[in-house]
Amino acid sequence: KEVGLAEADSGEEEDEGEDDDDDDEADAREDEEAVEDEDRAGEASESEEEDEEEDEDGVDAEADELQREYEQLRAEEEQAVQALRKKAEEEREKGAAVTAQRKLWDRAVELRILMQSLVTNSDRLPRPGPRR
């Protein structure tokens, strides 16, 4: 029994030695993973910096695009306002012309009425006889 215990004890020692080797390998793997994680983090921070620069460039480009769009809309609005002013001016001129035409027509009708009474009165006058 003692031999069996001694063997069992030595087996445990061997198992413990193997456990130490396993622990060393696990520690080495953890260290490698930690280094890889740090590398990834470093790459990520570099990537983030590049992304931030790209974002800033993207923001600048977007701001420029919005500025161009705003200026284009502003120009279109100005053209629309000018077109409305021009149309309003044309309508005003047309209205003034119609008013003048109406006044002229009214005056012509008045004169025709006055002339009608003169023509009617002249028709009542005797006609001259044949000339000799």
* pLDDT for the residue 42: 64
Lowest mean pLDDT of 12-16, 18-22, 109-113, name the range: 12-16
How much is the pLDDT for 24? 75
**pLDDT attached to residue 1:** 46
Q: Residue 115, class by beta-carbon neighbours within 10 Å (0-12 exposed, 13-18 middle, 19+ buried)?
A: exposed
- Average pLDDT over every residue of 12-33: 66
Rounded Cα gap, residues 106 and 113, in angstroms: 11
Split at pLDDT 50, 70, 90, the class of 51 is low
pLDDT over 70 for what percent of the chain? Answer: 70
What is Dmax (Cα atoms) for the chain? 187
pLDDT over 50 at 47, yes or no? yes
Question: Which pLDDT tens digit goes with each residue over 80-120?
Answer: 999 999 999 999 999 999 999 999 999 999 999 999 999 99
AA identity, residue 121: N
Averaged pLDDT of the chain:
80
Q: What are phi and psi of 10, to 5 degrees?
A: -65, -35
Instruction: Examine the pLDDT at 15 and tell me if it is beyond 60.
Output: no
Give which of 26, 3, 25 is closest to 11, Cα–Cα: 3
Average pLDDT over residues 4-26: 56
